[in-house]
Structure 1
Amino acid sequence: MVRDAENTTERIPEEIIAPLVKGAVFYVTTAGPDILAAQREHAELSAAHQTPRSCRGNGSARARIEAYVAELRAAGRGVPALPARQAHRHPGVPAVDGVLQAPNVALVARLTGVATSGEVRRYLTEAAAELGYQVGGLRSALSIWPGSGRPWRPGLGPLELATEVVQMRMACWIVIAYLSGMRDAEVRELAPDCAFTEDGPDGRIRHKLRGRVLKGRKLTGEEAEWVVLDVVHQAVALLAAVNDDPTHLFGHKGMTSNSLVLFGSVNRRLNDFRDHLNELFSTPDTPYVPLHTAAPAPDNDTSAHDKPQGEEGEDEPVPWRLSTRQFRRTLAWHIAHQPFGVVAGARQYQHAELALFEGYAGTSASGFAAEVAIAQLDYVEDLYHDWNDGHRTSGGAAGRVNAEFDRIRRELGDLPGIIASPARLRTMLQHLTKTLPPGVLNDCFYQPSTALCAKRAQHTGRPLPLLTMCLTCPNGRRSSVHLPRLATARAQAQRPLDAPAGLSRLQTAALTTHIADLDHAIAELTSPGSPTHE
């Protein structure tokens, strides 16, 4: 089988994409509004600071400085420090925990409406001996980062604000690209008015983006629409608030000229954003976005998407090198593998039917359905590897699927733990993707004639399969990937029983029965006497 070059792109490991997307969403939903508020404050200060008053010999100006220092003292804040980026301009100024020990006189002058002077500098230096120094200085409040219970960054001054605007743009790119399946060029070609909503056939509001599909099309591309989550519209609104290009959502005025510039160097910016998240949110012992240790690729499998990052033979943890193409590839993997995972198509549609995800991640013209189909095949290949490595399986469909795996292994001449021909294996497994919606507690190798949910669907009208009914269904199959999820589900079901106040007799019975089913499923995968594929 010939695989499209885009489908050979590495997918981002889950332990990396999860905090990265969480950080990007935090920027869009929480930090972004803080940044906009700080921008407004800075713009108002700049407009008001046209005729500053001298501090020397001017009682009113001196009173302003004294009142400002009293404000800092009452709030328990330090004197605004020079930005760390200006350290080269002030040789000899010491730094404590990365904070320069010198006052940001220019910012304080703007905040108080007085002129910069040696008198102001001396007064602030004396005040800092009591109050200490603090990053930033703008008064706009900063929201709390849930991981620490403290503001998401130490503070914002004009230079820090400029940095955060750049990082916010990158967060918006991640949210838009990853939650739509759009390619980088398609994201950066979006217009400021690209976001709109429509009522879906089920009566729910659909958040959409209007843009152009470019790959394999004429130079101008073809019009297309993507169904997205509401947070994508929030990202578009943020960009519209900070950018001023009338034709491109990601276009804005350059810092050194009035000409408009487009968002560029995205691969570098992605890795800068990861590093920035680590600077803000890491703990002393653990980076927020973990380092990655790549396992060497098997000698008999040199497909590009499985090759380790870094130098050949490298096994030291290193930052994962992000690139734009990995996001589309990773989204397809999550949709095909984990319909209730980090980012879930199920949040929109409750199940992983391929036809519906053409609507979720763009029109069929965008090519995303093919991405999901490849990712589904990746998942079946993972199931085969798990089986071939000797891990236990269970469920009504385990015997049927394992027998098919055994047939394939005999034909390929594989040995346990060894794959003789990875390319042929993928070809022989492809037919199993046709009726495989992955689930949380089990996978469903769907056959309507034996599906328990098919009988109920006649009454409920819900789409098939219903992945909550597979624990006792002949179509369900569980493997090692489901074991931690089964344990989590059992713990969640047990909690209400441990404090049963408010539970009815029927609710208690239902939970007890569900726990028994979960216990049975866990035992099948863990008990020493449980059958394996042998």
Structure 2
Amino acid sequence: MTTLHHPTTPSAAFPHSVFGGEDVCAAAGLPVHGAGPHPHFDDAVWDFTGVIGLPRYLARYARILFFTEILNPQWRELAKEFIFARLAPDHRAVRELAHAYRTPVLIATVHGRLTVLTGWLNWLTEQGVDNLGEVTQQHCAAYLELRKKVRDKHGVVIRDSSPGYRMDVVAVVQELGYYKELFSVDGYVPTFRPWGRRTAYSVAGMVRRTGNTTPPLSNDVFQPLVAAALYVVEMLAPHVMELQQQLQEMVPNRPGRNNRARPDWRVEVAQAIDRHMQEGDPFDVALDHVVAERLADGWDPDDPLLRVNLISLAHETGRRAFHYTWLPTLRGHLEKAVREVGLSKRWGRTAALVERADGRGGIPWTLPMNTTEARLQLSRARTACLIALAALTGMRKSELAELTHDCRLPPEQLGEGRVRYRLKGKVIKGRKLGGEHDQWVTIKQAYDTAGVAASLADLVKSDGHLFKSLSFFTPYEWFLTWVNGPEGRRLGLAPIPEVPVSLRMLRRTLAVEMAHRPGGLLAAKIHLKHISVVTTEGYADPRELHQTGEKSQVACSRREPDGLRHYYDLTS
């Protein structure tokens, strides 16, 4: 693990701040692991990675605040005072300010505020402004005009920025004025207020929303997407789990694997080559792009080792990589072995048969794969689990991230043919630091999917949770390409229209379907963990909701837990 060096700002460089020497987490009421970092105000880097209860979806980079990225040294002190005041509004020095915010904000919020503030202050430095007393409305307007466009690293305009981002920019510029009495080194002149009495909301051109702006997925997208995900979970996952076990056995986790006591690479790789010859086991095949890279690096097209998967060979010895500096020593031995046993994709050579998704007979669950393609199968199955759980439970990203490998509670028998399936987890949004434990009553498919996800999870890397990370865009693009490609057609999967899909859209789709059923508004409110039924109304046009009276609403909300099944026809 990388250890951060936390330089401190020399106390003699600037006038002493009222927060000097204070423990940031103690002032903000943030609990910290005993061995975790305890950032102090004078540190130039505030590391919150040791704070207890931070949501899992919050990336590591968002837990660390780098004030060193601000070019003007005196403004680093100002930025720290501003962020400290937002984290600890109950501090005696902050309570005295007339315009200071009274509610503490989250680590994620101050990380975003610092990012925007750094951009504003560094832009002023580039304009030759080295004192906030020199800032005028012209500066503010010019900077907002700049931020109305999103540019790439070369400065080329890509698109317009969102109103929400523009509101954040305006808000940070204005908020510096709320704390000017607190700053020890600089500040706007007392009479200056950016954009006068206009709010950040109006300056940014925000339009008041009349409902939830996240669109639900149309049925021609939702149905094939969920059907494909469930096909992977229910039909392919048992074979993927077996493949996972085989891949784990390929890389032995023996003592000495990561220390100097292990045998020399010459010995271990030679032994792996000998094993292939003794067992008549062909060597794994390299990916096409690896072969292309080797040719570009000057390999002979007739080289017998051109298509050998050398990384797979290294994995057989428990090593993560094959170093090309080994090749001159191993070449003779390896060429002889390749001539003797040949090359073949290592995994899935005798794949079991499964029923096609369209019911047109049985086929091998996979074509032969090399090691890289096999690992992609695992990743694809995990993505399918994420899609199915999001679609069938309506969980938020933050809630999916908190699901642990033991999230499935024992099924409850409620009578003949009636079984209640529950998942335990945490609600993060709108709750105190660390979230609140809660349960979701769901259908059997979602319950079984959680079990598959637990079996596929790397419990060490994912810290005992179902998903290591909740990155969705790229994994979904890979899943979509697979479904719509040759392999998806071979398995009989219906193509999925190539339109934007997000976890929020899956949640919204479930909410709309539930809310538009008789009595479904109250049921959706309970199931989606909304604090108020008004929030649930925002997920669907209230004018379209089925009106059946209070008794029917409550009765529907108490239906058998299996009742969500009829909301979707996943096989039609």
- Output the TM-score relative to the length of structure 1: 0.48
Higher helix share: 1
- Output the TM-score relative to the length of structure 2: 0.45
